[in-house]
A and B are shown apart, each in its own frame.
Chain A
């Protein structure tokens, strides 16, 4: 947290003790192994005796709170922090299981990823995708990660490798699952006038949205990512994006499981339902394609960083829009989108639309 905060403040040219008006950490007690993790946030990020709080959500939820704090005049500069120290957690499946409904679902037992297996089957059937298409997503993202210095799980894989990996919960296979990783991400937000005066080249948040479908596994939508649809609708409305598939140049969308990338692309309006398989097979979402998706390597390539997933991907989009994405740079990217999902068993996600220039 300290290291990420230090780098972010340096990049933005701000002193946290005098310039940052509000600090937001995104964390959940059970991921951390603490009750009231909020206690342990101020010292590392320079927030001692300053306004600071915790949002128990994904990094983009935290980002949204920062945006509203700035728009309401409560703060001019906001620092948003999210992290994963999941390597400390020896009982990851047990903690995920602990988020299930304690009466209806938790007693069923089993590795919680069975929910992803069921959802994948439901989505593939509804959307007309093959397991092979999801395997292609894995190969793409892990390949992209090879040239991203921030990615922990870059690999040269082909579709057959993924298809041949051991089953987790059919049709979900081992390589369809993003491996876990540790990280910390800090972003500095500023009101427009202030941002223009700061040292760093600003990337604008054009729109932001967040939404939740029902937590009940029995009644929520399985084939369609309703939360992502609603969150995107809000973000696109605020950003005045009318045809997302044409206006978005680069996208980072949640891919904690391979099938989530195409499912999210459809919900976000980035790929027409029914044409996603064709898009994947034709390389539309590859680096160098018409709409590069997860050029960073995504969660499959960088690792699943839990609540930091969304904020990490916003940072990757910011780098793309600033032309600082190195070997993964997408040409002439001026508008980008980042979308998150909080993972199993939630149906909660958030979307940010970012841009540079006027």
Chain B
């Protein structure tokens, strides 16, 4: 699909970048090697990059540096995740991501630690649960027009979220994105190729950034994602953005949980700390608001095939900025968008800023 949409064939591609989250999902060691045939990597420079859940917005950054370095003219970025082969539930794979001495004996899972982060965020900023749930409602409604949507619901209400099953307090079932299977691909080309081939409405990488915090998540204040602010500053500097709130038209913050959209809006410096719930309540982040967030429907509405969320995040920036988002199109003109992904032990973020 990506090659077709770019009017290219695999023979036109100079190098391939692959992204995927833990090998244990597929139960194959060196899974990058195993899938390189399917990615079109045979006989080409091919590499897999891996930053946990942050991979969805990180492999496109790696694709970007392949081209920006002048080393290659055309790069195909392919991301995949297949979580359904993990039975009974892919959460079991996350049993192996913890420090084997300090964390593992406590038998933590991801919902458990994200509940701690959500609670910390809500407590410090005095956030009402309804304002967090409103993110899930917005995104699941936005997802209605997305062809890959797994949990789109045009009629969902805040009450539905508040009444859904309690997983780990304060997290309820509808606060969480579902496990998903998926794959996405992206073609990145040099300015020369874009001009020579007369590509209509190309979308440009304006800035990229990434950042990691310490492994010791227990030593950090989880209320604010400092690593994301650092990654955003790196990307904004490259994109010559000094006032993100004014210069960014819409955002696709990573939303595996509803509170994460709020957390990430603040980390992306799109609002003050603790201000994101109010913007959500006031409708600023709706598709027709001043700062639309997750017009794609996000992970909450479309699904969470970890690395393959590149298609939801970077993909949506491309479709919105090139005017191809169809029914999801933001009604007013948008020229600059930002997205991020989040991964490892609540410690890593990758950020991409794109312009039409």
Q: Which residues of A contact B (CB under 8 A)?
A: 28-30, 33-36, 38-43, 47-57, 61, 64-65, 67-74, 95-96, 98-99, 101-102, 209-216, 226, 230-231, 234, 342, 345-346, 348
Q: Does B70 contact A (CB under 8 A)?
A: yes
Q: How many A-B contacts at CB < 8 Å in the complex? A: 183
Q: Does B221 contact A (CB under 8 A)?
A: no
| Selected A-B contacts with CB under 8 Å, 16 pairs | A29-B22, A39-B52, A39-B344, A42-B212, A47-B212, A48-B213, A49-B213, A51-B231, A57-B48, A70-B69, A73-B68, A99-B28, A211-B44, A212-B44, A234-B45, A348-B46
Q: Does B33 contact A (CB under 8 A)?
A: yes
Most B Cβ at <10 Å: residue of A55, A99, A212: A212
* One of B90-98, B162-170, B191-199 at the interface: B90-98
* One of B125-133, B145-153, B203-211 at the interface: B203-211
Find chain A residues with CB under 8 A from B70 CB: 71-72
B49 contacts A54, C-beta separation under 8 Å: yes
- How far is A61 from B215 in the complex, measured between Cα atoms in Å? 24
A42 contacts B47, C-beta separation under 8 Å: no
* One of B34-42, B253-261, B297-305, B318-326 at the interface: B34-42
- How far is A230 from B23 in the complex, measured between Cα atoms in Å? 27
Find chain A residues with CB under 8 A from B227 CB: 49
B34 contacts A215, C-beta separation under 8 Å: yes
Distance in Å: Cβ of B42 to nearest Cβ of chain A: 5
- Which of B23, B47, B97 contacts A61, CB < 8 Å? B47
Q: Does B230 contact A (CB under 8 A)?
A: yes
Distance in Å: Cβ of B83 to nearest Cβ of chain A: 13
**Chain B contact residues: helix, strand, loop or mixed:** mixed
A36 contacts B65, C-beta separation under 8 Å: no
- How far is A72 from B66 in the complex, measured between Cα atoms in Å? 8
Report the count of interface residues on B (CB-CB < 8 A): 62
A35 contacts B24, C-beta separation under 8 Å: yes
Find chain B residues with CB under 8 A from A65 CB: 47, 49, 62, 65
Find chain B residues with CB under 8 A from A35 CB: 22-24, 93-97
Q: Which residues of B contact A (CB under 8 A)?
A: 21-24, 27-30, 32-37, 41-52, 58, 62, 64-66, 68-71, 93-97, 99-100, 208-216, 226-227, 230-231, 234, 238, 343-345, 347-348
Determine the residue in chain B with the shortest Cβ distance to A42: B212
- How far is A64 from B209 in the complex, measured between Cα atoms in Å? 19
- Given known A53-B51, A213-B43, A215-B37, contact A43–B65 (CB-CB < 8 A): no
A40 contacts B215, C-beta separation under 8 Å: yes
B214 contacts A55, C-beta separation under 8 Å: no
Distance in Å: Cβ of A51 to nearest Cβ of chain B: 5
A214 contacts B37, C-beta separation under 8 Å: yes
Find chain B residues with CB under 8 A from A102 CB: 27-28
Find chain B residues with CB under 8 A from A212 CB: 33, 36, 41-44, 46
- Which of A33, A39, A99, A214 contacts B215, CB < 8 Å? A39
- How far is A61 from B48 in the complex, measured between Cα atoms in Å? 9
7 more contacts with CB within 8 A, not counting A54-B51, A210-B47, are A36-B97, A42-B214, A98-B27, A99-B29, A210-B45, A215-B34, A348-B36
A48 contacts B212, C-beta separation under 8 Å: yes
A29 contacts B71, C-beta separation under 8 Å: no
- Given known A54-B50, A65-B62, A65-B65, contact A49–B211 (CB-CB < 8 A): yes
- Which of B216, B231, B344 contacts A38, CB < 8 Å? B344
